[in-house]
């Protein structure tokens, strides 16, 4: 579904190579986890996949369901079904959460040539999805992420994901800043979306999120490359021994 092939990326501003040949295939129905130490290029990968400015792809390809997405605008990638749950969700003052959601849904529908969602369908859907994430009406009305706690912001990301029904979901350190209860809520939200047609790329530092979102495949990223790939046991190994042993082994 998502095919990353030999991806090399440097920063626009400085001549610094961040990704040095990433190869990764995310298949439909699978949850892939990427773990790795700080500065290994995990977040950069998520930004490059979603089309953020400031990065320069020097080599390699990324395909989503057969489309070469590196030439596409961020919104075109979104409409093809790529979703990024941000590590630091952005505040948009004055824009109600519901307005934001509805605008986003309709923008994607429009670009796919579908009709806009009706007001009643939208309301029904958003209430249903919000309830499972324990997001109350007040939070739906408040401006996007403004004054939200860390946990609320992350739940809100998952709500957007649930509403937009993407094909590939990238979760960038969704567990950062969450207490155990909030993490469970978020994990439940993600698990509810696990589906044969949907692939996940879960980026995290720690094993603890993976206790709740069970990955099928675990990749270790270091210095801009995937250095090791394995099953869920790999995450536990990291938790017990840290990265250094693995990295030594890989080099």
104 binds another protein (CB under 8 A): yes
Tell me which DSSP letter residue 250 carries.
Answer: H
94 binds another protein (CB under 8 A): yes
Contact in structure between 88 and 173 (CB atoms under 8 Å) = no
66 binds another protein (CB under 8 A): no
90 binds another protein (CB under 8 A): yes
Is the four-CA dihedral 177, 158, 76, 40 of positive or negative sign?
Answer: positive
164 binds another protein (CB under 8 A): yes
Looking at residues 113 to 152 of the shown chain, list those that interact with another protein (rule: CB under 8 A).
143
Q: Which two tokens stand for residue 9?
A: 């990326």
What is the C-alpha to C-alpha distance for residues 28 and 31, in angstroms, rounded to an integer? 9
**Min CB(97)–another protein separation in Å:** 11
The b/e string for 122-136 (b: 16+ C-beta within 10 A; e otherwise) is beebbeebbeebebe
> By C-beta, is 105 or 182 nearer to another protein?
105
108 binds another protein (CB under 8 A): yes
Among 68, 71, 73, 245, interactor with another protein by CB under 8 A: 73
Among 105, 117, 130, 183, interactor with another protein by CB under 8 A: 105
156 binds another protein (CB under 8 A): no
Pairing of strands 168-172, 82-85: parallel
**Min CB(86)–another protein separation in Å:** 7
How many residues form the binding site for another protein (CB under 8 A)? 31
Tell me which DSSP letter residue 89 carries.
Answer: P
The region of 3-11, 55-63, 75-83, 217-225 touching another protein under the rule CB under 8 A is 75-83
> By C-beta, is 28 or 95 nearer to another protein?
95
What is the total residue count of the chain?
251
**Of the candidates 251, 236, 245, 243, the residue with the CA atom closest to the CA atom of residue 220:** 243
Pairing of strands 217-222, 31-35: parallel
What is the CA 157 to chain-centroid distance, rounded?
9
What is the C-alpha to C-alpha distance for residues 11 and 205, in angstroms, rounded to an integer? 23
111 binds another protein (CB under 8 A): yes
The region of 88-96, 177-185, 201-209, 220-228 touching another protein under the rule CB under 8 A is 88-96
180 binds another protein (CB under 8 A): no
Phi and psi based region of residue 246 (left: phi greater than 0; alpha: psi -120 to 50; beta: remaining): alpha
87 binds another protein (CB under 8 A): no
13 binds another protein (CB under 8 A): no
Binding site for another protein (CB under 8 A): 50-53, 73-75, 77-79, 83-84, 86, 89-95, 99-100, 103-105, 107-108, 111, 143, 160, 164
């Amino acid at each position: 579904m998502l095919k990353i092939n030999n991806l090399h990326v440097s920063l626009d501003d400085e001549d610094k190579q961040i990704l040095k040949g990433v190869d990764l295939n995310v298949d439909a129905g699978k949850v892939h986890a990427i773990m790795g130490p700080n500065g290994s290029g995990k977040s950069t990968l998520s930004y490059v996949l979603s089309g953020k400015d400031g990065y320069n792809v020097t080599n390699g390809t990324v395909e989503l369901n057969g489309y070469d997405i590196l030439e596409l605008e961020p919104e075109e990638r979104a409409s093809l079904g790529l979703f990024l749950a941000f590590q630091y969700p952005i505040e948009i003052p004055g824009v109600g959460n519901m307005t934001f959601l509805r605008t986003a849904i309709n923008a994607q529908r429009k670009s796919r040539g579908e009709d806009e969602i009706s007001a009643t369908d939208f309301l029904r859907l958003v209430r249903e999805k919000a309830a499972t994430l324990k997001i109350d009406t007040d939070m739906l009305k408040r401006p996007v992420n403004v004054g939200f706690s860390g946990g609320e912001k992350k739940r809100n990301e998952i709500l957007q994901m649930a509403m937009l029904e993407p094909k590939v979901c990238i979760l960038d350190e969704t567990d950062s800043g969450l207490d155990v209860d909030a993490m469970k809520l978020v994990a439940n939200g993600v698990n509810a979306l696990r589906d044969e047609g949907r692939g996940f790329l879960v980026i995290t530092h720690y094993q603890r999120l993976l206790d709740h979102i069970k990955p099928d495949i675990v990749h270790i990223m270091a210095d801009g490359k995937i250095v090791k790939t394995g099953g869920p046991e790999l995450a536990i190994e990291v938790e017990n021994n840290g990265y250094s042993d693995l990295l030594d082994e890989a080099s």
